[in-house]
């Protein structure tokens, strides 16, 4: 098992390097003047060159990448000229808040999705299956930001049950904390529920068609015992999609956090985009992408514990 972990972790390193290269390229080479927001409107070409030199923008590209990577690895994510703060500082708090929201959405979305998917898979072809499958395609198609607005209309504007935005501090009690969490979690996890339910259903249905299920029944096992076997065999694609889902929740947080004024990475990115504060966009994208890669690594390892073929042959 230790070897599997090492090998998988080793495989993640080139991916992570690729991620840093891509993010750096996106925001360093692509059109869009990085100095535009930093210079006074009446700046001369000389001011411009001086600032470019100070920021190291006149060096060759590979040198700039390596220098940037070195800084990034030592935890220096740059400085936000708009907010006059170190980007690391900005990100730390926001990361915690996003983790709370994305984590809660993931737990809720994956649990409900797996339950619904299993239910539909076990009762395939029945009305239960049709209701779940039909709801899943609705959940898959519905834009999360629209659901967010519908929730706001109903629960905030009309019924006035829930606060329209912001984050509740746990120190102020669990109830306000949860009240702030409900709508963002519901809006964000709808797609997760839908995709997880679809993948789970497909995997359960396929596993039920395996011959070993016939043997389990032929052995006289009770139906719940058969279901346990099917579950352990069907979990692999569900785990794979779970890792992806959490990543999508992190990406989708830009929309959800903006709508619900949740002070997380997403809102940070949204504001930074509006201000063309590329240092913050770059750093935030990097943090989310690295989290995503590490999450998928964790899912990979988790899969190995469910499937002996990975554990013993890797």
Residue length, the chain? Answer: 314
Residues 156-185, interacting with other proteins (CB under 8 A): 156-158
Nearest CB to other proteins, comparing residues 157 and 170: 157
Please say whether the beta carbons of 273 and 257 come within 8 A.
Answer: no
Q: CA-CA-CA-CA torsion for 128, 134, 135, 141, nearest 10 degrees? A: 160
Residue 130 near other proteins by CB under 8 A: no
CB of 81 to other proteins, least distance (A): 17
Among 200, 252, 262, 283, binds other proteins (CB under 8 A): 252
Question: CA-based diameter of the chain, in Å?
Answer: 85
Spatial distance between the Cα atoms of 274 and 308, rounded to a whole number of angstroms: 49
Among 108, 248, 260, 262, binds other proteins (CB under 8 A): 248
Spatial distance between the Cα atoms of 185 and 192, rounded to a whole number of angstroms: 11
Q: CA-CA-CA-CA torsion for 67, 69, 74, 79, nearest 10 degrees? A: 80
Task: Select from 8-16, 43-51, 62-70, 85-93 the region that touches other proteins (CB under 8 A).
Answer: 8-16
**Cα 5 to chain center, whole Å?**
22
Residue 303 near other proteins by CB under 8 A: no
Number of chain positions touching other proteins (CB under 8 A): 71
Residues 260-289, interacting with other proteins (CB under 8 A): 269-270, 273-274, 278, 281, 285, 288-289
Among 57, 66, 137, 170, binds other proteins (CB under 8 A): 137
Distances (CA, A) of 198 to 97, 110, 151, 191, 313: 29, 11, 24, 11, 30
Residue 211 near other proteins by CB under 8 A: yes
Local structure of residue 80 (DSSP, 8 states): E
Place of tokens 């090492």: 6
Residue 32 near other proteins by CB under 8 A: yes
- Specify the 3-state DSSP secondary structure of 86: strand
Measured at the CA of 138, the angle between CA 132 and CA 144, to 5 degrees, comes to: 125
Tokens read off for 281: 């966009």
Residue 149 near other proteins by CB under 8 A: yes
| List of residues 6+ apart from 155 with CB closer than 8 A | 161, 162, 182, 183
276: left (phi over 0), alpha (psi -120 to 50) or beta: left
Residues 97-126, interacting with other proteins (CB under 8 A): none
Among 94, 216, 239, 279, binds other proteins (CB under 8 A): 216
Nearest CB to other proteins, comparing residues 111 and 156: 156
CB of 293 to other proteins, least distance (A): 5
Among 97, 120, 292, 300, binds other proteins (CB under 8 A): 292
CB of 283 to other proteins, least distance (A): 11
Among 251, 261, 301, 302, binds other proteins (CB under 8 A): 251
Among 2, 10, 31, 174, binds other proteins (CB under 8 A): 31
Residue 44 near other proteins by CB under 8 A: no
Among 94, 152, 162, 268, binds other proteins (CB under 8 A): 152
Among 51, 107, 128, 142, binds other proteins (CB under 8 A): 142
Residue 74 near other proteins by CB under 8 A: no
Please say whether the beta carbons of 117 and 207 come within 8 A.
Answer: no
Task: Select from 22-30, 45-53, 57-65, 105-113 the region that touches other proteins (CB under 8 A).
Answer: 22-30
């Amino acid at each position: 098992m230790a070897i599997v972990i090492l090998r998988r972790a080793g495989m993640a390193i080139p991916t992570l390097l690729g991620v840093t290269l891509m993010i750096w390229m996106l925001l360093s080479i692509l059109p869009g003047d990085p100095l535009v927001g930093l210079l006074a409107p009446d700046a001369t070409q000389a001011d411009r060159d001086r600032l470019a030199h100070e920021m190291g923008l006149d060096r060759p590209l590979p040198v700039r990448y390596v220098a940037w990577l070195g800084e990034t690895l030592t935890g220096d994510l740059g400085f936000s000229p708009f907010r006059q703060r170190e980007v690391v500082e900005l990100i730390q708090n926001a990361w915690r808040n996003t983790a709370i929201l994305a984590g809660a959405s993931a737990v809720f979305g994956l649990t409900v999705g797996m339950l619904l998917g299993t239910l539909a898979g076990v009762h395939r072809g029945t009305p239960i299956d049709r209701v779940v499958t039909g709801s899943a395609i609705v959940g898959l198609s519905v834009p999360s930001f629209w659901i967010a607005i519908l929730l706001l209309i109903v629960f905030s504007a009309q019924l006035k049950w829930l606060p329209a935005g912001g984050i509740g501090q746990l120190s102020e009690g669990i109830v306000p904390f949860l009240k702030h969490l409900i709508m963002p979690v519901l809006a964000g996890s709808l797609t997760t529920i839908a995709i997880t339910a679809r993948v789970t259903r497909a995997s359960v249905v396929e596993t039920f068609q395996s011959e070993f299920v016939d043997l389990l029944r032929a052995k006289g096992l009770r139906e719940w015992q058969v279901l346990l076997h099917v579950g352990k065999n069907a979990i692999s694609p569900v785990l794979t999609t779970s890792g992806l889902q959490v990543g999508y929740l992190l990406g989708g947080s830009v929309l959800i956090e903006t709508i619900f004024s949740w002070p997380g990475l997403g809102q940070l990115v949204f504001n930074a985009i509006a201000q063309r504060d590329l240092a913050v966009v770059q750093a935030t994208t990097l943090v989310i992408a690295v989290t995503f890669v590490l999450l998928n690594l964790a899912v990979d390892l988790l899969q190995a514990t469910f499937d002996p073929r990975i554990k013993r042959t890797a």
